[in-house]
C-alpha cells in the first residue's frame, strides 16, 4: 500500500490547470511540501499520516494576494473618507515615519492571521522593515514575496536613501534558500524615485533574476506629475529608462492610454489589480478587460488594509468581477473563471511563481485550501466557480495547507495564538493614536 504524509479527500477539486479541470470526489496526495498525485476517490488503497476530510466542499489552490502592505493592518480604520493627500499627510505619513521593526512584525502577523483565515496562502508585500515582514510570514507559515520600499527620502528603517539598495541586497542574501520567503526589488513609485534610483533598482533585480515591483499610474495627479516632470506618461517614462520587461510587476495601472497598454502587453509586463483600494481612494478603474484582451498576465491584490479595509480575497474577487461589468455595462466581462484564475494561477504567473504554486497539479508545492459549502449561502451549488466569486466569503474557508503543512484546520489557526496577536495589535494602536495626535 502506498503511503503519504497527507491525503485530502471527499471534495470537488478545482485544479485551476490549463483546462480549469474539476475533479468530483477527488483526492490530493501530498508528500513533504509537494503534491505527488491528484486523483479520484476509489483509487487504489493508500494510507496517510494525516487525512483531511473536505466534507463535500471545494478543494482549490491557495489564493494569492498580489499586492499588500501587510503591517498597515495596524492602521485599519484610523482615518477614512478623506481626500487622498489629507489622509496621507495627516494620518499615514506622521505614523509611518515613527514605525519600527516591532510594529511591522506585529502588524504583519495580524495580517497573516487574517489572510490565512480567509484562504490566502501567498502574499506579495511592499513596506518598511521587510525583514520583519519575512520573519512574521515565516512564523505564520505563509509564503511571501517581500521587498523593502525604496524612495528618494530617508527611511525609518535604513536611514539615508543610499542604504536602501544595500538593505535589499541584505534581504536577498538572508532569505536566499528559505522554502517560503523570496525577495523582490521594490521602488515605491515614479513620483518618489529618481530615474537614477529606478535604474539601479532594476539592475539589482536583473542581476539576481528577481521581480521589480512598483506602483504605476495609480492616480490621475500622479500621471500629470510625471508628464510635467518628464514629458512622458508613466509607462513611457519606464520604457525610456529600459525598465519594461517580463519581470516588471506594476501595481494598480489604473490610468493607461492605448499606447501604454500595448507596451505593457508587448514587453510581457505583469499587472496586479487592486479594485477595492482603487474604489476607496477614488483612484479610478483600471482597464483590466482591455489588458486581458491584449494577453497581459493580471493578478489581484488587496493593497494595504488602510485603503480597503480588509485582506479578504473573496470580497476582492467579487468586486473585481462586478466593477468591470458596471463600467463596461456588459455582464459578460470578467466572468467568474477569469477572476478566480487571477486570484490563483494567473496571480502566481504575475509573481513569477507559476512553476511552484497557483494550481493543484502533480509536482507543485502543496498550497491548498478547502471551502466549506454546507452553508445556506452556498446551497444548492450549480457552478463552483460562480459560488467562489459571487457568494463565498473568507470565513467559509475551513482548512489551509501551505507548503505541505496544515496551518489552519476547522477554521482554527494552528501556527499562531490569535488572542496573543490581537493583544499586541491593541497595544500598538495606543502608540498609533499618540503618533497621529502629535502630528
Residues that bind Zn ion (CB under 5 A): 303
In this structure, what C-alpha cell is assigned to residue 367? 498550497
Residue 426: helix, strand or coil by DSSP?
Answer: helix
| Residue closer to Zn ion, measured from CB, 303 or 367 | 303
Residue 6: helix, strand or coil by DSSP?
Answer: strand
Q: Distance between CA 230 and CA 134 in Å, rounded? A: 35
Least Cβ distance, residue 83 to Zn ion (angstroms): 18
Least Cβ distance, residue 265 to Zn ion (angstroms): 23
Distance between first and last Cα of the chain: 67
Least Cβ distance, residue 96 to Zn ion (angstroms): 13
**DSSP H helical ranges for 231-367:** 234-240, 258-266, 275-280, 288-293, 313-328, 336-343, 345-350
- Residue-wise over 94-121: b if at least 16 C-beta within 10 A, else e? bbbeebeeebbbbbbbbbbbbbbbbbbb
Least Cβ distance, residue 12 to Zn ion (angstroms): 35
Give how far Cα 218 sits from Cα of 237, 272, 274, 309, Å: 15, 11, 10, 18
| Residue closer to Zn ion, measured from CB, 33 or 130 | 130
Dihedrals phi, psi of 406, to nearest 5 degrees: -75, 110
Least Cβ distance, residue 376 to Zn ion (angstroms): 36
Q: For the CA atoms of 280, 281, 283, 285, what is the dihedral angle to 10 degrees?
A: -10
Q: Which residue's C-beta sits nearest to Zn ion? A: 303
Closest CA to 216 of 252, 268, 186: 252
| Residue closer to Zn ion, measured from CB, 92 or 416 | 92
| Residue closer to Zn ion, measured from CB, 250 or 389 | 250
Give how far Cα 84 sits from Cα of 101, 284, 353, Å: 26, 13, 33
Q: Distance between CA 25 and CA 186 in Å, rounded? A: 42
| Residue closer to Zn ion, measured from CB, 75 or 385 | 75
Least Cβ distance, residue 117 to Zn ion (angstroms): 22
Least Cβ distance, residue 249 to Zn ion (angstroms): 12
| Residue closer to Zn ion, measured from CB, 303 or 312 | 303
| Residue closer to Zn ion, measured from CB, 114 or 303 | 303
| Residue closer to Zn ion, measured from CB, 9 or 215 | 215
Least Cβ distance, residue 307 to Zn ion (angstroms): 8
Q: Are 27 and 374 in contact (CB under 8 A)?
A: no
Least Cβ distance, residue 228 to Zn ion (angstroms): 23
| Residue closer to Zn ion, measured from CB, 117 or 250 | 250
DSSP code string of 40-63: ETTPSPEEEEEEEE-TT-EEEEPE
Closest CA to 237 of 273, 186, 265, 195: 195
Amino acid at each position: 500500500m502506498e503511503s503519504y504524509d497527507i491525503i485530502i479527500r471527499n471534495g470537488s477539486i478545482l485544479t485551476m490547470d490549463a483546462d480549469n479541470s474539476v475533479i468530483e470526489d477527488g483526492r490530493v496526495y501530498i508528500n513533504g511540501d509537494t503534491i505527488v498525485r491528484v486523483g479520484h476517490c476509489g483509487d487504489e488503497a493508500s494510507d496517510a499520516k494525516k487525512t483531511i476530510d473536505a466534507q463535500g466542499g471545494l478543494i482549490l489552490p491557495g489564493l494569492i494576494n498580489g499586492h499588500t502592505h501587510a503591517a498597515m493592518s495596524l492602521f485599519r480604520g484610523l482615518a477614512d473618507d478623506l481626500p487622498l493627500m489629507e489622509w496621507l499627510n495627516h494620518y499615514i505619513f506622521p505614523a509611518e515615519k515613527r514605525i519600527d521593526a516591532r510594529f511591522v512584525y506585529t502588524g504583519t502577523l495580524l495580517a497573516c492571521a487574517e489572510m490565512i483565515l480567509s484562504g490566502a496562502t501567498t502574499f506579495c508585500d511592499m513596506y518598511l522593515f521587510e525583514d520583519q515582514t519575512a520573519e512574521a510570514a515565516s512564523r505564520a507559515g505563509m509564503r511571501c514575496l517581500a521587498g523593502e520600499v525604496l524612495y528618494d527620502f530617508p527611511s525609518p528603517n535604513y536611514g539615508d536613501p543610499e542604504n536602501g539598495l544595500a538593505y535589499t541586497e541584505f534581504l536577498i542574501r538572508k532569505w536566499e534558500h528559505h522554502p517560503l520567503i523570496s525577495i523582490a526589488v521594490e521602488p515605491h513609485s515614479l513620483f518618489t524615485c529618481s530615474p537614477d534610483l529606478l535604474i539601479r533598482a532594476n539592475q539589482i533585480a536583473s542581476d539576481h533574476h528577481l521581480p521589480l515591483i512598483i506602483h504605476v499610474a495609480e492616480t490621475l495627479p500622479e500621471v500629470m506629475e510625471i508628464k510635467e516632470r518628464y514629458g512622458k506618461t508613466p509607462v513611457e517614462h519606464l520604457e525610456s529608462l529600459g525598465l519594461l520587461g517580463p519581470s516588471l510587476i506594476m501595481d494598480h495601472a489604473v490610468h493607461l492610454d492605448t499606447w501604454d497598454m500595448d507596451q505593457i502587453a508587448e514587453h510581457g509586463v505583469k499587472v496586479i489589480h487592486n479594485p477595492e483600494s482603487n474604489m476607496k481612494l477614488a483612484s479610478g478603474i483600471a482597464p483590466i478587460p482591455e489588458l486581458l484582451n491584449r494577453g497581459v498576465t493580471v493578478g489581484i491584490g488587496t493593497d494595504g488594509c488602510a485603503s480597503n479595509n480588509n485582506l479578504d480575497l473573496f470580497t476582492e474577487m467579487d468586486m473585481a468581477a462586478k466593477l468591470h461589468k458596471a463600467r463596461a455595462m456588459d455582464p459578460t466581462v470578467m466572468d467568474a473563471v477569469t477572476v478566480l484564475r487571477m486570484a490563483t494561477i494567473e496571480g502566481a504567473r504575475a509573481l513569477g511563481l507559476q512553476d511552484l504554486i497557483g494550481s493543484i497539479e502533480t509536482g507543485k508545492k502543496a498550497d491548498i485550501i478547502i471551502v466549506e459549502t454546507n452553508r445556506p449561502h452556498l446551497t444548492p451549488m450549480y457552478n463552483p466557480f460562480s459560488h467562489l466569486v459571487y457568494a463565498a466569503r473568507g470565513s467559509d474557508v475551513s482548512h489551509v495547507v501551505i507548503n505541505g503543512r496544515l496551518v489552519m484546520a476547522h477554521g482554527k489557526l494552528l501556527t499562531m495564538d490569535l488572542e496573543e496577536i490581537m493583544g499586541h495589535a491593541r497595544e500598538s494602536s495606543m502608540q498609533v493614536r499618540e503618533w497621529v495626535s502629535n502630528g
